[in-house]
Each structure stands twice: as structure tokens, then as C-alpha cells.
Structure 1
């Protein structure tokens, strides 16, 4: 069993439907994986396949989280040593760069930055979303704060609208960008 814990934070983008690929790849790199879904990604998982959350919990060995716990509740996940945000949507990117923490996923990544945790982000958005002026500005803001963004040749290349081929999503590039 590894002593390194990775929080895998997945947003509601098509590659989230194959999050098990990422989980297995990260585990093969000797990380203990905890899966955190944005509220929309959680809804996708529960509506796409009955028992999907239980299957993912079984795969990671941890509960899948998607919302804040109450202050009186015990934390069910070990503390992270690193965070991988994949797939990262333009919506979450823009909120993250603004410091908004209105979901558990955003709260963890904004807090992770303050704690100095290594954070890798593998985006997934379409060409039109990528052309919004906030997107490149916010990528640069987060890069300047120490976040590793996988964009272009070594990571994500934006896609045409309504093109959702999941095969080329570079999960392995994200795993290779994690600290060793």
C-alpha cells in the first residue's frame, strides 16, 4: 500500500465518464486515490449507470465525495499529498482562478494552493470556450500560482464543439506530471 494520497477531482466533461481509466493509471503509479466529483459530475455518474458511485468507491477504497461535510462530521478521506484536476472544465477553471469555493471540489483545490500542494490540471473544453478571454487569462493566473497545466502538445488540445471522442484524452500525461 502506498503512503502517497492523491485527490482526483473530476468535473462534468465527457472524459469523466472514463474516470476509472485515470484511477487505475494513478494507482499504477503508486498513489492512493480519493475521488472527488463536482456536483454536475456526480449527477452524471449517478444517472449514467446504476451503482456507478459504489463501483468507483470500490475501485479507490474510499467514499466518493461530491459535497461538503457538516462541521460535526468526521473527515472520511486521508489528507492529500497532491491533487489532479481532470477533466477540468472552463467553468471550474474560471471559478478556481477567482478563488470561489462554492463546491467541495473548488474548496479543495483553492485550499490545496494555499497549502502548497502540487496540483496538476488537465483541461477539457471546446474551441469556443477556450476563446473566451477569461480562459487564457485564468490559466496564466493559476500557472503563476504554481499549478501545472497540461495544454497543447503535452496535454489537452481543445476540441470542436459537440465532438466528444474520449479516446485521445491524455490521462497518462497527467499521471506523468504528478510528483514522484
Structure 2
């Protein structure tokens, strides 16, 4: 897939990460060469699937920063999709906090003006927190397509998420 566009699929620790293969398959069907990056917590959720995920993408799955003298093992991205994007990651991203590889990539991507799409997964209680509205407004004002609300992810009642209803298709439509 060397002539394909490169998509970094960044997954956070939320239930849709357990079905990250769906996101990978949809991206590949859309013509993307997918590189998977997981937050450290998300990596724990799919630890047993790591060999399969690497086989599916043809790339190492990254979870942590490389050492300064180590070569990059992933091609440079043409776009980044953060899905699922958690409340925590969205807020840290807007504040410029890059304490994980996933956050370092997305904070830098704003400055690089890469196409950026965030497909959240959060509940109504988190969505009601005053920080979220400010975060979403800030990210959108800085070029990030945040798919929250109609046409994207609609927050669910706490502990009643619909994993099968996660709108992966909205993310790939936004990247098209």
C-alpha cells in the first residue's frame, strides 16, 4: 500500500477500541494505509490482539514515544483520525498536553495543518461538564473536525453505551 494515503488511527481507552478492527477495515476499504496508535490505557484493552492488529495494518502498533536515536517505524501521516476520542484526550488535546504519543501526534498535527477528525465516545454526564463545550469549540476553531452531536457521536446515558451504534462511517465520511 505504499502509494496509498497514510491515516494514523489513534484510539483511546473507550469501548469502541475493543472493535478497532472495524475502524481499520473501514479505513482500508476507503483506500487508506492505516497506522494504529493507541494510548497506553487503550493498549491494555486490546493487548491480546496486538499481533493481529499489526498484521492487519502491516505496521507496528505504536503506544509510546520512541527514543531520540531510534528511527521512525511509521510513514508520515496524510490525516489523523482519533476514534474513539475520550473526554480526557479531547480536553488534554485542547490544552496542548502531550504526555502520551497519541497526544503528541495530535497536538503537533494542528500546527502541521493535517486533516484531523475526532469521533468521541462519552456519556451524557461527561458531555454536560463545562470544559467539554470549550474544548470542542477550541478544537473546531483550530481545524479539527469534532464529530459530536447530530451527524456524529451522540452521548449516551452513563453505563448504557451502544457499542454497535458507534458511527465509524461518520468519521470516514468526514475524511473523504
Q: TM-score, normalised by structure 2?
A: 0.97
2:91 equivalent in structure 1: 94
Please give the per-residue CA displacement for 1:139-166, whole angstroms capped at 9, x wherever unaligned.
Answer: 0000000100112221100011111321
1:103 shift after superposition: 0.1
1:7-156, aligned counterparts within 5 Å?
Answer: 7-46=8-47, 50=48, 52-156=49-153
Partner of 1:174: 171
Q: Which runs of 4+ in 1 moved over 3 A?
A: none
Give the Cα separation in 2 of the matches to 1:21 and 1:61.
16
Whole-angstrom CA distance in 2 between matches of 1:164 and 1:151? 15
Q: How big is the alpha-carbon RMSD for the aligned residues of Structure 1 and Structure 2?
A: 0.8
Q: Structure 2 unaligned segments of length 5 or more: list them.
A: none
Cα distance, 1:3 vs structure 2: 2.5
Deviation at 1:43? 1.1
Q: How far apart, CA to CA, are the structure 2 residues paired with 1:76 and 1:151? A: 32
C-alpha separation in 1, matches of 2:161 and 2:69: 41
SS of the equivalent of 1:153 reads coil
Query: In 1, Cα distance between the equivalents of 2:122 and 2:148?
Result: 11
Q: Give the number of equivalent residue pairs.
A: 175
